[in-house]
Structure 1
């Protein structure tokens, strides 16, 4: 099969037909016109092809040689029509449109991008004017995007589960907690839109059952520079300050982007866990004060070697120090529900983690038919050091000290290195637009845990609870993807990705080695049919893989406190999902979506409790097959000229089968999701945002989840021609949007968990923009996408 794919790739460049490229720039004086229509028709007025202009007014059309009619138009301007003979590549240069003052003499036309835009393989949520996100960060934006939920440090697409996140096509390869911290460092005011890709095409890594979320940053036009600075203060029980700055420069052959940001302060972490042992209830209450210190930065530079070739590189750095003071109390009750004793855990956790990502790339247009090749080499490092000290004292009512139950220290280190290289080729043909490429990746992860018994006041090493683990993973992939437009109504896209993976895990302490090798194909199919301007239909299918994170493959125990520990599973296998999705759109504003996702060999966290030792054990297993399905409606409109609304309603359900005996019964049920987002533009400079979400309780797989609801309110005032903006935002006004009643029953022992990590908070922010706003600094992907996501 590999030989066949190589032969196909070598033969593709010779398949091109006789075509030419038509380019130009549509302008209003010195200002580019965005979204202008450029239509090519034959002399009988039959439309052959067309395009719309980009941010800089440019367009590019590939067409057969011949004689045509050209029409360029835009609302509020006089259209331009000419006959044109195309025998070679033609650049029309600057095409000037003049304002149609006659038609606009007594009215004002305000053009708005649609809040939601449906594409063949993704939904685009335009966020530029969203007030709730103003002065906030990327997490605030994602909470507003249709069909996205964020809970318990997990970002999910409805019906898809945990999703991977990209910035301008670059996957952020961090653990769930580190990813949340990193996204908190990105200014919401720098985000243009969010792409929700439920079924990613073949050019993306096959990893991630939950699809992809792509955050698109703002950009302007050429020959200018811009700086944006934001200062924000967040207040929950504690407070923290955020400062961000983003500088963009784009002139002549140089494109430069520099961004940096950081947090300073504290937030509250609050968790409750009730464990119903046969001998009585254990009530655990955790209250922590976590330091929110974070610093991140990015620099990207591109240089045009020629009109066809660009070389560049970028560097991304992220440093976190989320240390915390922890206080955990456990009320131990008897069968009469009377408190027999109280276990108090006092601890201090210090965590230092940093990641560095390096990229160099080359992009070259091969010819005038828009064939393009790009090369990327990426290197990623992640270094994490953790120091966890805890002491558990026993008390008899009323608070009489009866002894120390446990005193210990855990010191752990993890280092991850990834080197990857990839090549991508875009190859438009007369019959089909092809893209294809290949990637290789090498990952090395080393971690160690040192356990010290401090009961006597001295640090006594315990070799039986210390461990060293080394993990190696290599991956090779090739893909091919084709897009075919049959006519103005029917579009078809199909892709195939082949991935070959080899893994090796070595626990030196346990003297245990595990190997795993697998070769898998991942197909994708998209069919889009547009009946007319009012009715359109879209079907897509894709197969995905979810690989275990590096850390959860480590078989050793890591103690959280005196009554709880977590252990990995080196025998974990990847899970696979087959995803089916159908969408009907009416007039671009009402979307009906139905989906079915089938996950096999699913793995996840299992919370069990030992009734003898009264210890909570957190493990991971491949234990289920799941059918997750649902139907939803999404409606966006301008109810009044000053009132923009987006409403989403979903009915979700699941059916789970346990494929491994874990001492539990599958929970199956249905759920209602509702979101109501409103923007009120009271003037050109003052807006109000009011959003409400609700999810009903849900039985799914091993767990039952309680309901959540949340009301968010935001105010925004702009000054000095929108160069300054001040916003006030209240998140979860009634403090009801946190994770609650997360229930499981394993081996007859019931556990109920609640987590409220500062769900309710208030934010005041100030943003100042200066410089030349006409800027277009390009962003570049990193190639080691899948690997960095799984770093822990």
Structure 2
């Protein structure tokens, strides 16, 4: 059992100048956004390991529960001045952004030696995630707050992942080999709760994928001076919960950030060739094919910049070390 509390206060002030076509200063703009946040975390783990009568045979069970809770307040203040620093107008937007996250997981792993020096590992994992994010914004005029329904929203997210795997490995005098396969079934549901101005919206995702892995190493001599290696694997990187919240909210007067409910997982196929000399110097050549790479995208509409996560179709990367 463990837990922590992590408070933080971040005062942020940005200054900018609006210029005309001749680069003359028209207005001065100051945006301040002090942010006060407290993260609380608690976790519980139960585990059990059973060693069988057969040497090397073992069964283990792990159960975990993790809870996160945060309180987050902001005060977004935008002031416009003349070039002589005379105040023209000022807007104040306050916000309360509490969030809760609950994660429950269960994992079962089994390991046993087989014939001819082969070892088998197999198991499964199931996880459930629930998040609840509220964003309450208020326009503040003469210290009186009024609800701003254009920016206020509440986003609930549920994720269930069911996975199973099997892996076989063998250690020889000159070589080591390992091959495995993992299957994952993912089920996602997101709900954005509406308000008097914005309607409810929701989305679901359901998909199943296979993730093969393979590893081979070979010693070129008995003195272990030279060793060659090759590995292949398919991996997945899922978008985080908040990035899929479709709502758009202000970071300052001219910058807005929004989520993207159409984000898909990033899949990568990774190949690696390596040479090791005397277990000291290793040279590697890596190649990756990435599908649905998630990156930050920006769009300008008038004087407003909109930022959100987007997907690039296919990317290839090669690295030599």
TM range (shorter): over 0.9
**1:601 lines up with 2:287 in the alignment:** no
What per-residue deviation string (whole Å, max 9, x for no partner) do you get for residues 610-633 of structure 1?
2x1x1221111223311011111x
**1:563 lines up with 2:254 in the alignment:** yes
Q: What TM-score do the two structures reach when normalised by structure 2?
A: 0.94
Show the counterpart of 1:346.
32
- 2:127 equivalent among 438, 441, 456: 441
Say if 1:603 and 1:624, in contact at 8 Å, map to a contact too: no
- 2:220 equivalent among 518, 527, 531: 531
Structure 1 residue 469: Cα displacement:
1.0
Structure 1 residue 464: Cα displacement:
2.5
1:56-95 → structure 2 map (5 Å cutoff): none
Show the counterpart of 2:100.
415
**Matched pairs, number:** 314
**1:497 lines up with 2:182 in the alignment:** yes
Say if 1:504 and 1:513, in contact at 8 Å, map to a contact too: yes
For 1:335 and 1:544, how far apart are their aligned partners in 2?
50
For 1:607 and 1:492, how far apart are their aligned partners in 2?
46
Show the counterpart of 2:266.
575
For 1:579 and 1:586, how far apart are their aligned partners in 2?
23
Show the counterpart of 2:139.
453
Show the counterpart of 2:231.
540
Say if 1:608 and 1:616, in contact at 8 Å, map to a contact too: yes
Provide the secondary structure at the position in 2 that maps to 1:498: strand
**1:617 lines up with 2:312 in the alignment:** no
Structure 1 residue 333: Cα displacement:
2.2
For 1:599 and 1:455, how far apart are their aligned partners in 2?
49
Q: Which runs of 5+ in 1 are unaligned?
A: 1-314, 633-792
Which protein, 1 or 2, shows the higher relative CO under an 8 Å CA cutoff with sep ≥ 6?
1
**1:629 lines up with 2:318 in the alignment:** yes
- 1:519 equivalent among 192, 208, 223: 208
Show the counterpart of 2:67.
381
Show the counterpart of 1:252.
none
For 1:318 and 1:617, how far apart are their aligned partners in 2?
35
For 1:416 and 1:462, how far apart are their aligned partners in 2?
25
Provide the secondary structure at the position in 2 that maps to 1:323: strand
Provide the secondary structure at the position in 2 that maps to 1:549: coil
Structure 1 residue 336: Cα displacement:
2.4
**1:551 lines up with 2:252 in the alignment:** no
- 1:330 equivalent among 16, 20, 27: 16
Provide the secondary structure at the position in 1 that maps to 2:144: coil
Say if 1:410 and 1:559, in contact at 8 Å, map to a contact too: no
- 2:56 equivalent among 370, 375, 395: 370
Provide the secondary structure at the position in 2 that maps to 1:463: coil
1:383-402 → structure 2 map (5 Å cutoff): 383-402=69-88
For 1:579 and 1:523, how far apart are their aligned partners in 2?
11
For 1:616 and 1:411, how far apart are their aligned partners in 2?
23
For 1:513 and 1:439, how far apart are their aligned partners in 2?
27
Structure 1 residue 338: Cα displacement:
2.7
1:234-273 → structure 2 map (5 Å cutoff): none
What per-residue deviation string (whole Å, max 9, x for no partner) do you get for residues 186-216 of structure 1?
xxxxxxxxxxxxxxxxxxxxxxxxxxxxxxx
For 1:488 and 1:335, how far apart are their aligned partners in 2?
75
Provide the secondary structure at the position in 1 that maps to 2:23: coil
Provide the secondary structure at the position in 2 that maps to 1:465: coil
**1:319 lines up with 2:5 in the alignment:** yes
For 2:169 and 2:245, how far apart are their aligned partners in 1?
42
Show the counterpart of 1:474.
160
Provide the secondary structure at the position in 2 that maps to 1:506: strand
Show the counterpart of 2:89.
403
For 1:320 and 1:330, how far apart are their aligned partners in 2?
32
For 1:360 and 1:385, how far apart are their aligned partners in 2?
29
Provide the secondary structure at the position in 1 that maps to 2:150: helix
For 1:524 and 1:339, how far apart are their aligned partners in 2?
60
For 1:336 and 1:365, how far apart are their aligned partners in 2?
79
Provide the secondary structure at the position in 2 that maps to 1:376: strand
For 1:325 and 1:575, how far apart are their aligned partners in 2?
34
For 2:300 and 2:6, how far apart are their aligned partners in 1?
32
The runs of at least 4 aligned residues of structure 1 exceeding 3 Å deviation read none
| Aligned-residue CA RMSD (Å) | 1.3
1:675-686 → structure 2 map (5 Å cutoff): none
Q: What TM-score do the two structures reach when normalised by structure 1?
A: 0.39
For 2:134 and 2:110, how far apart are their aligned partners in 1?
41
For 2:119 and 2:19, how far apart are their aligned partners in 1?
68
For 2:44 and 2:23, how far apart are their aligned partners in 1?
58
What per-residue deviation string (whole Å, max 9, x for no partner) do you get for residues 669-706 of structure 1?
xxxxxxxxxxxxxxxxxxxxxxxxxxxxxxxxxxxxxx
What per-residue deviation string (whole Å, max 9, x for no partner) do you get for residues 65-89 of structure 1?
xxxxxxxxxxxxxxxxxxxxxxxxx
Structure 1 residue 451: Cα displacement:
0.8
Structure 1 residue 368: Cα displacement:
4.0
Structure 1 residue 337: Cα displacement:
2.6
Provide the secondary structure at the position in 2 that maps to 1:609: strand
For 2:249 and 2:73, how far apart are their aligned partners in 1?
12
Structure 1 residue 571: Cα displacement:
1.8
1:134-213 → structure 2 map (5 Å cutoff): none
1:729-748 → structure 2 map (5 Å cutoff): none
